[in-house]
Amino acid sequence: MSYTDKKVRVTVIESKCPKYKVGDVICFEGSMLDKEHSDNVCMVAMNAIYPFIYAFRRGGDLKKGPYQCVDCNESVVFEIESI
**What tens digit of pLDDT does each residue of 3-27 get?**
779 999 999 999 999 999 999 999 9
Q: Are 72 and 17 in contact (CB under 8 A)?
A: no
Give CB contacts under 8 A, 24+ apart, made by 50-54: 52/80, 53/8, 53/10, 53/28, 53/80
Q: What angle do CA 56, 8, 2 make, to 5 degrees?
A: 60
Q: Are 11 and 77 in contact (CB under 8 A)?
A: no
Q: What is the pLDDT of residue 2?
A: 65
Q: What is the pLDDT of residue 1?
A: 55
Q: Are 58 and 50 in contact (CB under 8 A)?
A: no
